[in-house]
Amino acid sequence: MSTLRLANAKSAAVLISLLLVLSAVCGVFTFAASAESTSYIATWEEYMAAHGIEKYTWNTVANAEDELLEAAYKLYRDGNKDEAFTASRQAYYGYYETTGFERNVMGHISGAEVSKAELQFRAVRNVPKKGGSLEDFWKEIEKLSQILHDQANGLDGISEAGVSGVSMDRVNGSVTETSQTESSADTSDAQTGNTPAATTAAEPAVGENAVSTDGTGSWGITFAACFGIILREGLEAILIVGAIIAYLVKSGNKSKLKIVYAGCGLAIIASFICAWLLQLFKFANTENQEIIEGVTALIAVVVLFYVSNWMVSKAESDAWNKYIDGQVRSSAETGSVFTLGFTAFLAVFREGAEVILFYQPLTTDENSTGAMWAGFGVGCVVLVFVFLAIRFFSVKLPIKPFFLGTSILMFIMSVSFLGAGIKELIEGDVIPYTSPDWLAAIIPSNDVFDVLGIYPCYETLIPQLILILITFLIFVMMKWERNNRKEAGVIAIIFGGLGIHKFYLGKYGKGILYAVFCWSFIPALLGIADGIHFLTETDEQFEAERLPKPKEKKKRQKPEKAKT
């Protein structure tokens, strides 16, 4: 009996072992099949090698991105959210940036189109990151594909509007290999207007004004691209630097111009170093580059907004004369001029490294290199004329219009940099992206809104609206005496979270600090505390607190004479 039980136990053990082996084998085959069905090519270089591509068009790149986006959808459908996010991320960093797609759209179509594509790439990545629905993921993928093919048609010299190239039939596997090839040819024909016989892999069909994909396009096209890039990126910097220089000349501080010029020179050197470091450490065309650009822009916003409010506070002649008499010759002037020099540095540095990175793929041969330098040179000449116009015409203006105009320019640029900086952080996946359809319908994608840094998303618009509100309140308070204890207390309680009471008291640095951290609600609590303090103290105590604390001068000890 015991022998029979032992035999049965051995048989059961063998059977269980066989089942485990079969399960493992089935698991391996299932995993292999799953991996095969959801595999994707992460970079354009690998895609060209895998498909033996030598000559191609921009629509070819867009088609390759369609395949990658479809693979991302399959991964998300199968429950692999992290890999779906990575695949959709590679559509931007592995294709759109590294192929020169982005740079050529910037140079030949418009910067607004680049921003539209960048934000849509983020909208696609946003779905798997937040765990959205499959329907939303496919909807965003279709939008992105249409944008890419529309831009590809523009670069390929095709007048027809682009159409989305992704296919749910291919995703579901209901398209055979033969029909898939025919479908791709039909899509290409719909976009290019060519017949299937005229479209071959060896000779991709393009229009007359096509932009070459290998960087060896016509001299005129490369010249136009480089001229447009330096003009667009340099204009923002030259407006700020020109206004600062004109301000120093107007205020009788012409001797301090060397600080601003030094800031610009250091910014140019730093731009080359930054671009080199980005390439050296493989930060170029990655989220690290976007984060660096975004942080730099936000630092520029703080400095620009400070300078803007400082200038507008001196707009009245009496205020300016008082400032000149009391502080121009004091040590405080050095700090103010340093702030202006730092502003010039940030304005130039923010654009400089980006220009260098944009120019790199346009210098593939002697012809394109010559066109690049020609476009760069002509663009610089135009910017010099813009600078001279600001420099000399603004000097002839009376104090009040000049200061107000310069302050308004600084404020507009701070709003623009704020939107652009947050957009860079959105692209770097640091900040989420929320863009409802109704908002996108109100704010179209065009060059005017792009230059102003206005985009159809909450994350950029809400901070910009807060900045505008703060500025409006500051302008309103300019008409007040700013020495009323009760007014300061009420403002601190109501608007303390934005630092308005600090601006009311003329403490711009602390006001900006409150505004920067308003999202944490800590400034709101501090504002309430300040308001209660103001309302409960006496007028004499309030006035005493407002007076600047005198600085103690350190007496230099004279060296004792040696006794003889």
Q: Which amino acid makes up residue 212?
A: S
Q: Where is average pLDDT lowest: 2-6, 123-127, 279-283, 500-504?
A: 2-6
Residue 281 confidence (pLDDT)? 61
* Tokens encoding 418: 């704020």
Kindly report the CA angle at 448 between 446 and 450, in degrees rounded to 5?
70
Mean pLDDT of the region 68-80: 92
Residue 355 confidence (pLDDT)? 76
Q: Measured between alpha carbons, how far is 527 from 499 in angstroms, rounded to an integer?
A: 7
Residue 263 confidence (pLDDT)? 86
196: pLDDT confidence band, cut at 50, 70 and 90? very low
pLDDT at 15 over 50: no
> Which has the higher per-residue pLDDT, 229 or 313?
229
Residue 507 confidence (pLDDT)? 80
Q: Which amino acid makes up residue 46?
A: E
Residue range 299-351, pLDDT digits in tens: 778 877 877 776 666 555 455 445 444 444 443 345 566 777 777 887 788 77
64: pLDDT confidence band, cut at 50, 70 and 90? very high
Residue 202 confidence (pLDDT)? 42
pLDDT at 162 over 60: yes
Q: Measured between alpha carbons, how far is 222 from 374 in angstroms, rounded to an integer?
A: 9
> Which has the higher per-residue pLDDT, 480 or 27?
480
- Give, to the nearest 10 degrees, the angle between helix 257-280 and helix 287-313: 170
Q: Calculate the average pLDDT of the chain.
A: 74
Q: Where is average pLDDT lowest: 144-153, 421-430, 440-449?
A: 440-449
Q: Where are the domains positioned within the chain? A: 9-35, 39-198, 219-434+460-469, 480-545
> Which has the higher per-residue pLDDT, 346 or 154?
154
Residue 365 confidence (pLDDT)? 55
> Which has the higher per-residue pLDDT, 313 or 456?
456
Residue 342 confidence (pLDDT)? 79
pLDDT at 414 over 60: yes
Mean pLDDT of the region 206-212: 69
- 373-396: b (≥16 Cβ within 10 Å) or e: ebbbeebeebbeebbeebbeebee
394: pLDDT confidence band, cut at 50, 70 and 90? low
What class, spelled out in words, does domain 219-434+460-469 have in CATH? mainly alpha
Residue 83 confidence (pLDDT)? 92
Q: Please identify which residue in the block is written with the tokens 């089942």.
A: 19
> Which has the higher per-residue pLDDT, 251 or 461?
461
